[in-house]
Amino acid sequence: MKHRKVKSVKQLVKIRCQLKKEGKKVAFTNGCFDILHRGHIECLRKAKSSGDVLIVGLNSDLSVRKIKGEKRPILSQNDRAEILASLEMVDYVLIFNEQTPYKIIVSLVPDVLVKGGDYRKDKIVGKEIVESSGGQVIRVKQVPGRSTRNIVRKITSRYADT
């Protein structure tokens, strides 16, 4: 069953127009969110605190494989979307097939674009769109040692002999 917070681009464009009329600030972040961990939560919290409404772009299974390789994702896009949608700080989730959220950012033009601190500000996709419309780009400091890659390594090493 698809969660009520999971929307299409078309639906979110309508929602975004209404939010703009209401004077609400829209924040946007994106990622694979394969195995949700503390680093993800910190980024989502910061993203939500930077706006009234948080939209999360979620890489589809196809785009995760293109970015991370054939062994990923661990969890399906529907499971990842459901997990994200269940979080209080997430208002909407949008699954996308492209490797970057450029088309989404062009369509929504969020007021705030939030990315992890591992991204150089000048390399953040959509930065110029958001800033040219008067919005801001925020980089969230990474939580050391917290990554899906580290979790997968820990699991595989711990259970390699079982």
What would the pLDDT profile of 31-64 be if each residue is shown by its tens digit? 999 989 988 999 999 999 999 999 999 999 999 9
- From residue 20, alpha-carbon distances to 16, 26, 40, 87, 150 in Å are 6, 8, 27, 23, 39
pTM: predicted TM-score of the whole model, two decimal places = 0.91
CATH superfamily for 9-158 is HUPs (3.40.50.620)
- Percentage of the chain surpassing pLDDT 90? 75
What's the CA gap between 147 and 4, in Å, rounded?
Answer: 28
What's the CA gap between 113 and 54, in Å, rounded?
Answer: 10
Find out whether 25 and 111 touch, Cβ atoms under 8 Å: yes
- Say whether 140 sits in a helix, a strand or coil: strand
What is the amino acid identity at position 9?
Answer: V
Domain regions of the chain by residue span: 9-158
- Say whether 103 sits in a helix, a strand or coil: helix
Residue 1: pLDDT over 60: no
Find out whether 72 and 65 touch, Cβ atoms under 8 Å: yes
Q: Please report, in angstroms and rounded to a whole number, the separation of the first and last CA atoms in the chain.
A: 34
